Amino acid sequence: MQTRAITSLLFISSAILSGCGTAISLTHQNPSTNAKVVINDKRVKSETVYRRDGVMDPIQYFGDEDFETPPLAYLGKALEHTLPANDYVLEVSKFRVIDIFPRRLNAGVSGATAGALASLGYSVIMPNIDPKASDNITCLASGKIQGNAFTQSVSVPYAISPFAGLVKKDSSFIAAVNGCFTKLAEQISKAP
């Protein structure tokens, strides 16, 4: 009975820590009148779904279903606001929005972070950050825009309010996710 109670407590704690069951809100973007981006999604299926390796793992990889707005469509709209007037084709071979939260989970992230990301093919595009320093949202992407290859990653730190009910509804978390998309679009827009 005690084991079942501990397991239930771990599950509930994990759901609160990860914000499970709630879609991430992305800031509404006004339509661009200058640039038009068409997205060619070449990601493998495993990159479009949620992944977390256990309740004590301070890294979660969001899937497309974790967002109210499809994340690649949102990235395309963000690019339309940063690119000069033209029609663009964005071919995406890798794209992930990753929540790295050692402080929120109160766990250290060591070389395991780099190892876990490398096992998924992200070692080349992992930003030069210390993931132990703060909780952060990291956006990783590689592909081509107008035939020009790009490999980009950006990270935006956040600090969850001690009064936050759900992580995915916390203003700092939402600002970090939205900021990550904006910064990633700015980086990709330098490729053409």
Least confident range of 4-8, 47-51, 78-82, 169-173: 4-8
Residue 98 has pLDDT above 60, yes or no: yes
Residue 128, Cβ density class (10 Å: 0-12 exposed, 13-18 middle, ≥19 buried): exposed
**Helix 71-80 vs helix 171-188: angle between axes, to the nearest 10 degrees?**
60
Percent of the chain with pLDDT over 70: 74
- Nearest Cα neighbor of 69 from 104, 40, 26, 106 is 26
Q: Which domain holds residue 125?
A: 2-188
Q: Quick one: how many helices (H) and strands (E) in the chain?
A: 5, 5
What pTM does this model have? 0.78
Residue 9's pLDDT is what? Answer: 37
Nearest to 155 by CA among 123, 118, 127: 127
- The DSSP symbol for 129 reads -
Q: What does the alpha-carbon distance between residue 16 and residue 71 come to, in Å, rounded to a whole number?
A: 22
Task: Decide: 8 and 154 in contact? Cβ < 8 Å.
Answer: no
Look at residue 157 in the predicted model and tell me its pLDDT: 93
Say how many domains are in the chain.
1
The residues pairing with 86 across neighbouring beta strands, listed in sequence order, are 35
Q: Which of 101-110, 137-146, 171-180 has the lowest mean pLDDT?
A: 101-110
pLDDT digits (tens, 9 = 90+) for 128-154: 555 556 899 999 999 999 999 999 999
DSSP state string for 86-126? EEEEEEEEEEEEEEE-HHHHT----HHHHHHHHHTT-TTT-
Q: CB–CB of 164/175 below 8 Å?
A: no
Which has more confidence, 103 or 133?
103
User: What φ, ψ does residue 169 adopt, rounded to 5°?
Assistant: -110, -5
The sign of the CA dihedral 22, 47, 94, 133 is positive
The span from the CA of 55 to the CA of 45, in Å, is 23
